[in-house]
Amino acid sequence: MIVPVILSGGSGTRLWPLSRKNHPKQLLNLTGEHSLLRNTVERGCALDDSGAPIVVCNESYRFMVAEELRSAGIEPDAIFLEPQGRNSAPAIAAAAFHIRDKDPDALMLVMPSDHAIHDLERFNSAISAAVQSARSGDLVLFGIVPDRPETGYGYIRTSGEFEPIVPQSVREFVEKPDLETAKSYLQSGEYLWNAGIFLFSPDVFLEKLSQLEPEIYTACQNAVNKARVDLDFVRLDEESFMSSPAESVDYAVIEKVDNLSVVPFDGGWSDIGSWDSLMNERESDSAGNVITGDVLTENVGNSFLHSSSRLLGVVGVDDVIVVETTDAVLVAGREHGQEVSGLVNKLKEQCREEAEHHRRVYRPWGSYESVDTGDRFQVKRIIVKPGGVLSLQKHQHRAEHWVVVKGTAKVRVGDEEVLLHEDQSTYIPLGTMHRLENPGKIDLELIEVQTGSYLGEDDIQRFEDVYGRSGE
């Protein structure tokens, strides 16, 4: 059996403002109808002899990840929650301990959650070609057959000219090259892009990890042994996991061992890590523009233009990136697309919410969106999914007025409980215990008007919560 292990901890800062810390790129529908995460999970589950997948993700993504799997009709073996990201080696180690204890004969297929692959039949063939090597004790990598001189990827040098889908030996690993070096790699026919996809026995991987990085091995073993189940999730023990060194699997293990092989893959792969890579995944118009949303152009070429919420007009420019969301606009030259992460760092230094949240914020019960703010007031649009229940809570610094505009609301205010329908409202005085629930079969939508001296999201004191959240 092959167990897909999906790594879903990245934040995708180079794709800001679409990708944010608390709603990263792998949870966005960037290349089609579904999210990158869902596409990756479905890709793994479609393989021959595939087992239930494991997803390793940041704790703050847990409900969005669970919803993506639910919407795909996929029951995971486990969703492991990292208290804080420690890079890929600890994440893979945690999954390896779990798989080894459950089925020592299984292989684990490690995949980042933010890749796009076009030819799924070819991908299945590549995985099948790697199984024998993995069963023989190799750590198998998947290298992408390059079609251009690329400076944004690391490379794997093979033993000579390779044949796609046929396992090869690995001669060396090379860091991201400059353009001239990348051109020489392409011309030589010996180099592959390092995709960061692996197939191996968990037992073989853990044996190498124990020899090369015993601190990571011990910390992750303890984190799994002391883990606790919380609803649909497995919470890795925080103290144990945080004691692990933060290290990538490449530096911790892959680049230090000799039991390696690589399968060249030529089935249309892309790492959706930059605006250029996303642009290559989208269909362009006759002027070379990739356009999403309400966009009008005049004399514009070879540009990525995205509008989320309003009309975007672009005139007389070439090779630009313009991305509009409800709370931010990015304008960049295409050659400077990799520098967007520096802009995000400045937002973080200034403690700007735009670095972390979209205006619409997702919660396990639904979502809320800020409509207007001012001195001592804030207006929000709240959507509660059928069956969704907000926590029993109160606020120390604000009062709230709720107006139902769609659906039915079950509202508790103090000791009273009422049903509210469209055009009906209620008032929650400051310091009063309250709860909101959607007992209906359609989304509940309401407008919330907050008034008070402090309107931050941390002014919430929870007393009961069906989703396991607690505290203030």
Q: If residue 398 lies in a helix (H) or strand (E), which one and from where to where?
A: strand 398-406
**What domain range is 448 assigned to?**
360-464
Question: Are residues 290 and 305 in contact, defined by beta-carbon separation less than 8 angstroms?
Answer: yes
CATH of the domain at 386: 2.60.120.10
Question: Tokens 């760092």 — which residue?
Answer: 345
Last residue of a domain, one of 284, 312, 344: 344
Q: Residue 352 falls within a domain, yes or no? A: no
Q: Please indicate, yes or no, if residue 213 is contained in any of the structural domains.
A: yes
Q: Verify that 148 and 163 share a domain, yes or no.
A: yes
Question: Same domain, yes or no, for 199 and 88?
Answer: yes
Q: What is the pLDDT of residue 470?
A: 62
Residues 253, 183 share a domain: yes
Q: How much is the pLDDT for 472?
A: 41
Same domain? For 160 and 294 the reply is: no
Q: From edge to edge, which strands make up the β-sheet containing 444-452?
A: 360-363, 366-374, 377-384, 444-452, 398-406, 425-428
Peptide bond before residue 112 is cis, with ω within 30 degrees of 0: no
Residue 370 CA: distances (Å) to CA of 52, 185, 329, 374, 377: 38, 50, 17, 11, 11
Q: What CATH number does residue 82 fall under?
A: 3.90.550.10
**Does 244 reside within a domain?**
yes
DSSP-derived secondary structure for 156-185: EEESSS--TTS-B-EEEEEPPP-HHHHHHH
Q: What is the DSSP letter of 268?
A: -
Last residue of a domain, one of 293, 309, 344: 344
Tell whether 430 and 282 lie within a shared domain.
no
Of the candidates 175, 245, 260, the one whose C-alpha atom is nearest the C-alpha of residue 214 is 245
Residue 129 and residue 14 share a domain: yes
What total of structural domains would you count in the chain? 3
CB 53 within 8 A of CB 74: yes
Looking at the structure, do residues 204 and 331 belong to the same domain, yes or no?
Answer: no
Last residue of a domain, one of 247, 271, 295: 271
Maximum pairwise Cα distance, the chain: 76
CA distance 302 to 113: 28
- Tens place of pLDDT per residue across the chain (472 aa): 999 999 998 878 999 999 999 899 999 999 989 999 999 999 999 998 999 999 999 988 899 999 999 999 999 999 999 999 999 999 999 999 999 999 999 999 999 999 999 999 999 999 999 999 999 999 999 999 999 999 889 999 998 888 899 999 999 999 999 999 999 999 999 999 999 999 999 999 999 999 999 999 999 999 999 999 988 899 999 999 999 999 999 999 999 999 999 999 999 999 998 999 999 999 999 999 999 999 999 999 999 999 999 999 999 999 999 999 999 999 999 999 889 999 999 999 999 989 998 999 889 999 999 999 999 999 999 999 999 999 999 999 999 999 999 999 999 999 999 999 999 999 999 999 999 999 999 999 999 999 999 998 889 999 999 888 764 4
Q: Could you tell me if 245 and 367 lie in one domain? A: no
3-state secondary structure (DSSP) of residue 368? strand
* Within-domain flag for 173: yes
Classify residue 349: in a domain, yes or no: no
Report yes or no on 355 lying in a domain.
no
Q: What is the pLDDT of residue 162?
A: 86
Co-location of 60 and 132 in the same domain: yes
Pair 253, 282 in one domain: no
Residues 308 and 240 in one domain: no
Residues 283 and 266 in one domain: no
Per the domain annotation, does 471 fall within a domain? Answer: no
Establish if 82 belongs to a structural domain: yes
